[in-house]
A and B are shown apart, each in its own frame.
Chain A
Amino acid sequence: MKDLSLHILDIVQNSISAGATEIKISILENQGKDQYLIEITDNGRGINADDLGRVTDPFFTSRTTRKVGMGLPLLKQNAERTGGNMSISSTPGKGTSINAIFGLSNIDRPSMGDIGGTLAMLISSNPIIRFIYSHTTAAGSFKLDTNEVIEMLDGMSIASAPVYNFLKEMINENLMEIQFS
């Protein structure tokens, strides 16, 4: 994956496949600890204990269309390459939480990339899922909850090109304000 936003797009697809109705994506840029934390939590069907140990094995997947599953192994590899790690916790029936820690200033850490586009795309393709995004840096924080967006739209479809472009620009502009990296 070229940047972190593509990893997020990829991992969130797992939550969508697991039937989640609420997906939280939280980013914390911790300069004190020199860590870049990405946490994705969903309320999907969860992963059973047997499979939980195998999800970072590239030759394990729940799909039947192919025999490899690279999403989590790639994220893990990228995190470890920057001196970080990745952990997963899950309760069947309750949901799953993915925690990836990257080295903030590590030269191998990919940049965030077009997270605005990623979120806008997820929101407009999955209008029934509530997405809660938060991003905190030393300069401040930004939060987006699709429930607030739906309230503002007051009946207008969230899945339209003008709304998609608006969200993309709004998210990216606000993140620039807090100097995200």
Chain B
Amino acid sequence: MSQVKSLADLRKLKEDLQGKMSLREKSNHPESMVQVKVAMATCGIASGAKQVMDFFINEFDKRNIHAVVTQTGCMGYCYAEPTIEVTIPGQEPIVFGYVDTKKADEIIEKYIKNGELVEGIIPVKYQSIETNKENK
């Protein structure tokens, strides 16, 4: 039977990773990294945002893309959850809706790696009918 992991094993993991990490630390300026924010309010969580975030964390590591994955609140697009906001350094953030792991893969391969836009973008200028009324 294999041993149950403990915090002491974490130190071992740390030593194994040290070499690999130091490379990454050098380029550790958030503004020079791709940033992915996963909307994680009730609506997002209920629609599977946790799996999507897990996917991003692991895939960025596997594909060797330097990126920061964090959580954010509800952006108001509950109908399109799970939603994510992707910021490529030097560019405007883009919000994608209906992101499952398949869509997430497409976003990494096409948008993050090649800058190609993929379907599912929620326009920034989007306004609900009510906010439109208030403006008039």
Q: What is A's interface to B at a CB cutoff of 8 Å?
A: 1, 6, 9-10, 13, 17, 63, 65-66, 69-71, 74, 114, 117-118, 121, 124-126, 148-149, 152-154, 156-157, 159-166, 169-170, 173-174, 176-177
Contact = CB atoms under 8 A, between A and B. Distances in A.
B57 A164 contact: yes
Contacts of A70: 42-43
A118 B50 contact: yes
B14 interface: yes
A71 B42 contact: yes
B46 interface: yes
Contact of B21 (A1, A10, A156): A156
A1 B58 contact: no
A168 B40 CA distance: 18
Contact of B5 (A74, A157, A169): A169
B53 interface: yes
Nearest to B18: A156
B7 interface: yes
7 contacts: A63-B73, A66-B76, A71-B41, A121-B57, A125-B70, A162-B13, A162-B61
Interface of B is mostly: helix
Interface in B46-80: 46, 50, 53-54, 57-58, 60-61, 68-71, 73-76, 78
A169 B13 CA distance: 13
B4 interface: yes
Contacts of A154: 11, 14
Nearest to A155: B14
A10 B47 CA distance: 12
A166 B7 CA distance: 9
Given A71-B41, A156-B21, A161-B61, A125 B69 contact: yes
